[in-house]
Structure 1
Amino acid sequence: MADNLSYLKQLLANKRTRSELRYRHYEMKSHPQDLFSTAELKAWNLRPVLGWCSKAVDSLADRLQVKGWKNDNFNLETIFRMNNWDIFFDSAILSALINGCSFVYISEDETGFPRVEVIDGMNATGIIDPVTNLLKEGYAILERDKNDAPVREAYFETGRTTFYEKGQEPYSVANQAPAPLLVPILYRPDAKRPFGHSRISRAMMSLVNSAVRTTKRSEVAAEFYSVPQKYVLGTDPDAEALDKWKSTISSLMEISKDEDGDRPTVGQFTQQSMQPHMDQIRTFAALFGGESGLTMDDLGFVSDNPSSAEAIKASHESLRVLAEKAQRVFGSCFLNVGYIAACLRDNFPYHRRQFYLTEPVWRPAFKPDAAALSGIGDGAIKINQAVPGYFNKDNLTDLTGIDPSEMEIPEEDDL
């Protein structure tokens, strides 16, 4: 066990740097290095930031909303409802999108009921089973001190969790779960990278860094554009020096002739144009939009003509596909969380195949507007005329995202 624990600690340390980099981009704390900078520019200490990476993550995370569970034979919804349903799902999804994966630590409260806690990808890792997407072994840092040093750690095995607290002897807690009590939540996993891919790709980070450098250059250019540089030629070296500040802000400046009747030449350098910088930022925004599935409107370049709901939905087709893909993967991962939590709750090692009918129900990634609702209604009526009962309140909810009314329909005799 000691060898496996050391391996997992080293694995987490190797991945931590990349996770911190993506969190810095998400939190807009990353400041790219200038390609060519002078001492004068460094003295200005310009640090512009762009929120495109956080926009790319949030625009997808905000569209992933769990509505409930279908065929919930083991009452999994109660477990999640009793564990801050909204905060839990949002936190797990957001962390998984940033890191590529997050983890859910399952434990028991004072009454023996399952308690679920989200741990980000910087503080947990493991050896994954590619068939079930459950862990074979896991390691997590449950608590850190103010200096970011681990205070409480845990090593997860099937049937046992060993805790390591600073200054105390390790102790183990047994359980009846058929897998470790640390469950991964994955975003876009594949055979090569079973722990998933981050929503903040290398291309996104590179484009944001380039756009930030362009923004910094535009700030410098704006200063010279606002206060253009001037020059004076042919001044007498023995004459009193001009006050540069007064000569800049004065509306009227007098320069007299010298003894020989000569006068200096006053001129102004051509002002820099801001347009090249704006064009370059728009180019980076277009490239970032193509990489992330966002539109120019999402990135702050608002079009003159407002789009309808259908036009917005059509322009976000890539984002809709990403959201539906994420729903499928996250749904399987959350089912794993409910499966292990149910085993811990009932103190019984259920088989995973017993949960194959249970699946989460998601709200539509794009909620329809009034025109779309009218189209859905017309379509449902026509299809039901051809195939009676094809559409009903259960499957129409999946299309509209609106729950059916619980009011009883009055009988004709009561009208």
Structure 2
Amino acid sequence: MGKLSYLSRVQTTAVTRGSAMNVLVWETPRFVSGVDEAELDIIKGLFEKWRRKYPRNELRSVYFDGKMPLKETGNIPREALQKITAVLDWPEKSVSALAERSVFEGFVTPGGDQDPFELGSVLDANRFDLELPQAIMSAYKHSCSFITTARGDVASGEPEVLVMAREALWSAATWDQRRRVVDAAMAVTSTDDDGRPDAIDVYLPYAVLSLTRRPSGAWVADRRSSPLGEVLVEPLAYDAQLDRPFGRSRISRAVMNITDHALTTIARTEISADFYAAPRMAALGVSADAFSKGKWQAAIDRWFAITRDEDGNLPTVTQFPQMTMQPLTELYRMYATQFSGATGVPVSNLGIVTDNPPSAEALYADDRRLVSTANRQNRVLGSSLKRVAQKVVRLRDGGEMSDELRQIDVAWMNPAFTSPATSADALVKLSAVFPWLAESEVALQFAGFTQAEITRLLADKQRYDARSFAASLRSVVGGSDASIGGESAPVPADADNGVGDI
């Protein structure tokens, strides 16, 4: 898909919150060859919804990338603002700080299978370990993202089942409140040089429509049946609500407002630094040619000489009290505290350094809200990923939903960052109360091992158990040569027993 060029010829300007924001004028498809009237109405509705949501999603992308402009305050001259380049990455931290706590470990079943339904090969072919973190990051940035599934074209090199992530910036969907599923969705898959869509995938319960715009402007649809009889799209939403099933963005209005104020504070600090470097002075009773080289040269010269005035009076030079920048730093700290309260991101992650480093208990308390949010989000995301896994298995095997497939679940890494010593101490205490816990795979997860490390540890344990069993078996077999049934072997009567004749 081509990169967005929203400074194109087809644009208009809308004023939002006092700032100019470019909005592309994309023409809704009026006629699509190969679809009926009902499908065309769905396509129009999805296109209009996507076009309506696009400006806000693009604005959040601007804040995420740190490209938001300085807002004019009226107190700082416009020419001064234009000379200052100030960047603040707080919106990006509000997204990444939570996304880093959602680390996918794999799919599991109640039986504890390492790779249920042999999903590992399908996910590896789709680079799911690389795709899913990006989808989660996009969901927290734009309120949601989407995971689509389809049968792949194996002959052209695609996986058997194609799993793809779609960002909300180029996608739209509608929600069925009664069945709690997506009942229609669209994803822009390609744009032209002007940023206008020229290829769209539309997902319906019974078919997937691939729309292509010809050079003449006409749209043509290619139809593929949906083998499962349902929309092959699952949303990954952040903080979904009853009235907002597709969630809301981590880059909220509060985050953007606080970021604007903090960015303005940085600009004011930059301007104040120049005045702080050159203190203000006053000279009374000097001649007209005292500052012939300029006031700035007089301020930086090591030696400064002033002659008497016309009446022969000695000049008086005084220095105004030096301005302090402490109020600006305190104001910046206040905005950092507000941002931490709005997002749950610890203040220490925003560049606010304290003199005394916090203790382990203080760090855990700072992360408590972020950890609880991550735990809640992992349950929500796990529900969608569970349905993705079920669709992948059904598309690959062509079967119906089985009871075992319904019980598949998602394993996440513990979002709370704890030290290995603390985890080991807690595990020892729990094993004393529950001795069987030491033999469980959950104990390895509790100790902080990743799923790959757990797999290797269990494989090493199996090899060790096999060697131990073989060694014990050899000792038993070797001992049976000397004793059978626990009794000594009989000695022949004519054998020499080493005792001489009497």
The TM-score with structure 1 as length reference comes to 0.91
AA matched with 1:152: A
Corresponding residue for 2:30? Answer: none
Number of residue equivalences: 411
Alpha-carbon contact 2:390-2:406 (below 8 Å) kept: no
Q: Displacement, 1:202?
A: 1.7
Shift of residue 131, structure 1, vs aligned partner = 5.5
Counterpart in 1 of 2:62?
24
Select the structure with the greater relative contact order (CA < 8 A; seq sep ≥ 6): 1
Question: In structure 2, what is the Cα distance between the partners aligned to 1:136 and 1:353?
Answer: 24
Matched residue of 1:215: which SS? helix
Aligned residue type for 1:180: V
Match status 1:344 vs 2:401 = no
Give the Cα separation in 2 of the matches to 1:355 and 1:336: 10
State the Cα distance separating 1:43 from its structure 2 match: 5.9
Q: Does 1:411 align with 2:468?
A: yes
SS of corresponding position for 1:189: coil
Residue 319 (structure 1) aligns with: 370
Question: Residue 170 of structure 2 aligns with which residue?
Answer: 123
Query: Does the 8 Å contact 2:287/2:310 carry over to 1?
Result: no
Give the corresponding residue for 1:361.
Answer: 411
1:154 pairs with 2:201: yes
Q: Is the 8 A contact 1:50 1:212 kept in 2?
A: yes
Give runs of aligned pairs for residues 55-134 of structure 1, distance below 5 A: 55-71=93-109, 74-111=117-154, 113-130=160-177, 133-134=180-181
- C-alpha contact 2:424 2:447 (8 A) present in aligned 1: no
Residue in structure 2 matching 1:52, options 67, 80, 90: 90
**What is residue 210 of structure 2 aligned with on the other side?**
163
Code of the residue aligned with 1:361 in structure 2: it is A
Does structure 2 conserve the Cα–Cα contact (< 8 Å) formed by 1:235 and 1:264? yes
Gaps of 5+ in 2: 1-38, 110-114, 476-502
Deviations 1:218-237 (A, max 9, x none): 11111100012333334445
The 3 A distance-change label for structure 1 pair 283 and 10 is same
Q: Which amino acid aligns with 2:423?
A: L
* TM-score normalized by the length of structure 2: 0.76
Name 2:424's counterpart in structure 1. 374
1:119-138, Cα deviation, whole Å (9 max, x unpaired): 11111111113455431111
Aligned sequence identity (%): 26
Once the 2 structures are TM-superposed, how far is the Cα of residue 9 of structure 1 from its aligned partner? 0.8
2 CA distance for matches of 1:41 and 1:230? Answer: 25
**Are the equivalent residues in 2 in contact too, given 1:139–1:153 (CA < 8 A)?**
yes
Of 307, 311, 314, the match for 1:260: 311
CA contact (8 A) 1:339 1:352 kept: no
Q: Which structure has the larger Rg? A: 2
2:294 aligns to what? Answer: 243
Q: CA deviation at 1:21?
A: 1.5
- Where in structure 1 are there 5+ consecutive unaligned residues? none
1:50 Cα deviation from its structure 2 partner: 1.4
Shift of 1:4: 1.6
Q: In the alignment, is residue 275 of structure 1 matched against residue 326 of structure 2?
A: yes
Query: Which residue does 2:443 correspond to in 1?
Result: 396
Q: Which moved more, 1:38-47 or 1:205-214?
A: 38-47
CA distance in 2, matches of 1:380, 1:210: 49
**Distance in 2, Cα, partners of 1:207 & 1:239:** 47
Q: Separation in 2 of the partners of 1:354 and 1:166? A: 44
Question: Quick one: distance in 2 between partners of 1:70 and 1:309?
Answer: 32
Measured after TM superposition, the shift of residue 143 of structure 1 is 1.5
Q: RMSD in angstroms over aligned alpha carbons?
A: 2.5
- 2:382 match: 331
